[in-house]
Amino acid sequence: MFYVTRRETFSAAHRLFNPKFSDEENEKIYGKCSNPNWHGHNYTLEIVVAGDINPETGYVIDLKVLKQIIIDNIIKKVDHKNLNVETDFMIGKIPTAENIAVAIWEQLVNKIPRGKLYSVKIYETENNYFEFKGD
């Protein structure tokens, strides 16, 4: 089994808050990420596809194709956007890196033309990353 990774980066704004909680509780749970006037992160996204080698091409998956799928379905919807209010697949969700990873998995899982989606990894800072394997 091979694991092929495509990395993309994007910049996005967000605010972490749960409307069920008071401003004080949100501040306590989310700290600076709950700033009512938004803030941003430079995210790195790694999409891993697992599969065998296609003997006709020598590829597991054509990375040009995978790149375009990620750009069309994810990057165009998140890069330089406000995740809370502009990104269709994040509206109504608390945009933690965990929830972003799950939502990206759901966007991509049925669009991989060869092999299967193995994991979605998202780096919110250099020191924090989150990895989701949907099945």
Tokens 């938004």 label which residue?
38
Instruction: Tell which one of 10, 17, 26, 33 touches Ni ion (CB under 5 A).
Output: 33
Does 12 sit near Ni ion (CB under 5 A)?
no
Fill in the amino acid letter for 131.
Answer: E
Q: Does the annotation count 124 as an active-site position? A: yes
Query: What is the helix (H) or strand (E) element at residue 107, kind and residue range?
Result: helix 97-108
Tell me which of 33, 41, 56, 86 is the catalytic residue: 33
Q: Is 90 in the site for Ni ion (CB under 5 A)?
A: no
Examine residue 66 and tell whether it contacts Ni ion (CB under 5 A).
no
Q: Which is nearer to Ni ion, 33 or 117 (CB)?
A: 33
